[in-house]
Amino acid sequence: MPVLLVALAVSPVVIGGLSRIGDTWLPVGDWASMLFRTGQVGTGDTPLLGTYSVKGWAHPGPVIYYAAAPLYRLTSGDPRSLEWTAAILNAVTIAAIGAVAWRRGRYPLTVAVLIFVGLLIHGLGPATLVNLWNPFLGLLPFLLAVLLAWDAALGRPEALVVAAVPATVAIQCHVSFGPLLAVVAVWLVCWTRWRRRLVPDDEPGAGAGMDAARPGPLRHPLGRAGTLALVVAAVLWLPPLVDLVFDTHNLVLAAGHLAAGAGEQIGLVEGLSLVSRHVRPDGPWMGGAEPSNFRNALGSGPVVVFVVLAVLAGCVHVARRRRLADVAALATLTIALVVAAIPAAGNLVEPVFLYLTQWLKVIGMLVWFTVGWTIWRVAEPSVRGVAGRDVIGRGATARRVIGAAACAGLVATVAWSWGDATTIEPGAVRERAAVQDLRAQVDAELPRDVTYRIDSVGDLVGHNAPGLIYYMIEDGYDVLTGDGAAGLKWGHAHRYDRGGDYDVRLTVAVHYGGAWRDAYLECLRDPRVELVASYDALDPDQRDRLDDLKMRKLTEPESLADAEVAEADRLEADGFRVGVFEGDRGCARRDPTRRPRD
């Protein structure tokens, strides 16, 4: 396999990882919890589950922690080890994608796949691939598993054994990959059984590219290789299976969510619209627009999906007429994934933030890679016919010209992401500043010889309370919390169960500018609790000014000039504040007349 091609393809990810050298990162939110759980690998509380889901269970498996642990240890617990681990894993996955393409189709397929991977990297953003967050880490392994299934379908069932690894990574990172990969498995069985009815016999030389060895004889994928793949998968799934039998039974909860859903789902119509947005030729998969409102990612109407399915059906028709088994397999597999994506997207629960739709970019990339590969396979005989013909008068051949153009295309697509890769900055900037400020105040105010129970209210994005929990544990405080308790977000040692013993109860109350409810203010007015630490993005004069404008807007709206209305809106948007309140009970509950429950 040409090392240079793979080196080019992984360069945005490598640059992104290197850009983090010399920076400081103090994570909050899910990343703080992931850093903590990674540190528990190899201890008595080694994770058996994946990252916690807000639905009340954890994603299926702990592969994300196990993968991060070696570099975490080598760097003495440096938080950036999570980012570097993500970069390494994604770079290795891209190299594996290149290896599959090289084995299947030598230069033509390798260059084609890596060009589309380069476009996908730009669509995802290098920062996404240098981020060990579970909705992101499974994206490229999912793509690799799909391509390995395609490879297996074309006569190499041993690819199934390898596919068990990226498929496990994807599903353990995020449960939503499970149904999609189940569709891939069903497609593989159906293809093996009925393939010869679709493409009776390959034409001579109908391999997957000019330089490809012809596909081997078709063998049933559920034979020896399939059995070995199941054995590999069983080993990789041992930790979740141990939990299933002896601990939280998390797999039952996750399966129940997939079967019945939870919360208000967006439905098939909106799911169809979302898929349409992502399978457009200029869609988010290659950097196109990703519009959203406050609650949900926005689609683009249902028409595009039907057009795309018609185009893919055309690819199947061409493959059948020309007896191109590789095109037929790829096109039918992509059709199956596009169709499966519709109910999968419709099953998303509001609010549908953009991070929940990133997997649709992989589907969009597969659609247009399939179309591009079909075009190449149709044109390939003509190209081979003129492969030795002089086209510019100096000994160059059509084959070399096309090869040079394709390589230039690869350089262009990966170079498109180099700029973004050099300026990666982890998110949650203001929350990170707030948590470190609160951390210092808590260190000065609270003793370490008691047990604290920490709850949160108003933390819409779940960054602030988890950040404070992590740093209090790191600073030697004995902490219990109900945050993610069902999914062991903080392990057994720091899990609060109803009726558990603790000495002091802390409530982290958060108000984001523009939010309807001000949990900070509610706690501040609650006589049962006392403020022990506080962070306000506004200075005291700005806060007083905002309170005055809000009161006038409520009682005397006609007295406000346009400039004052604009000033109030600006201050409210910037009005982020967080407080840590101490008391026997929590504060800022939905129903203040209802007796709080422990």
Per-position DSSP letters for 290-308, written without gaps between them: --B-SS-B----SHHHHHH
pLDDT given for residue 593 in this prediction: 36
Euclidean distance between CA atoms 52 and 311, whole angstroms: 39
What integer pLDDT is reported at residue 546 of this predicted model? Answer: 86
* Per-residue confidence (pLDDT) for residue 262, from 0 to 100: 64
Q: Name the phi and psi angles at 18, rounded to 5.
A: -65, -30
pTM exceeds cut of 0.85: yes
Q: Which residues of 167-187 are buried (b: 16+ CB within 10 A; e: fewer)?
A: bbbbbbbbbbbbebbebbbeb
Q: Take residue 471 and report the two structure tokens written for it.
A: 């740093």
Q: What is the pLDDT of residue 326?
A: 95
**Successive 10-residue mean pLDDT values, the chain, 598 residues:** 89 96 93 97 95 89 97 96 98 97 92 97 97 96 98 92 97 95 95 87 46 45 80 96 94 83 82 96 95 85 95 96 94 98 92 93 98 94 66 55 85 95 91 96 96 94 95 97 91 89 95 84 94 94 87 85 87 90 83 39
pLDDT of residue 207: 44
Distance between CA atoms of residues 341 and 512, nearest Å:
34
